[in-house]
Amino acid sequence: SKVLAEDVADLAVALAISVTRGTVRGHDFVRDGHWEKGGSFPLGRSLRSLKTGIVGLGHIGSAIAKRLQAMGATVAYQGPRKKPVDLAYFQTAAELADWADLLIVTCPAMPETIGLINQDVLDALGPGGFLVNIARGTIVDERALIATLARDGIAGAGLDVFEKEPHVPEALRHDPRVVLSPHMGSGTLETRQQMGDRLVEALLEHFAKR
């Protein structure tokens, strides 16, 4: 819903920056004293230089596209049908991934999207590519993602959702190229308040009609 879209979009961008710039690793690097000992921190990638593909251009996908365009990134999308927007459209997730440097998954979980981000899509994204998933864990084939990371098939991933939450595979938990968050896309005070307000409004309307 539109209520959630803005906060989820913020988190998607935060994860995209975290995984491309290494902000979580940077935090550990400073906290663990490596900087003070004269260590050098690796260079990140500039978000605006990355071609960003959005899988599913609904309320959330559109809100992400707006933010990324404001940052100067080139954005394209994939979905079941073309929309009246000024963005390049790709018919399949694999074609979008082949074009993109950063793939952000925002589509709903439906029978046709389960496992949509499979081995072929990850291979198309390639060794320099980044994946961000703020949709549902079942949309990304987790085993394929782990196998791809193990052979340096992609550069990193930012994940807010997982196949069997709250279980997160050890391979993802211990990979420094992966930024993890606990399915907190809509988890702000403001959004939860609005969600509560909407529920109360709907209930009042329901009983008024009766």
Give the residue numbers marked as catalytic. 136, 165, 183
Beta bridge partners of 105: 55, 133
Q: At what angle are helices 59-70 and 2-21 packed, to 10 degrees?
A: 50
Length of the chain: 210
Measure CA of the first residue to CA of the last residue in the chain; give whole Å.
Answer: 26
Residue type, 119: Q
Tokens representing 201 are 């409004």
Q: Tell me the pairing of strands 102-105 and 156-159.
A: unpaired
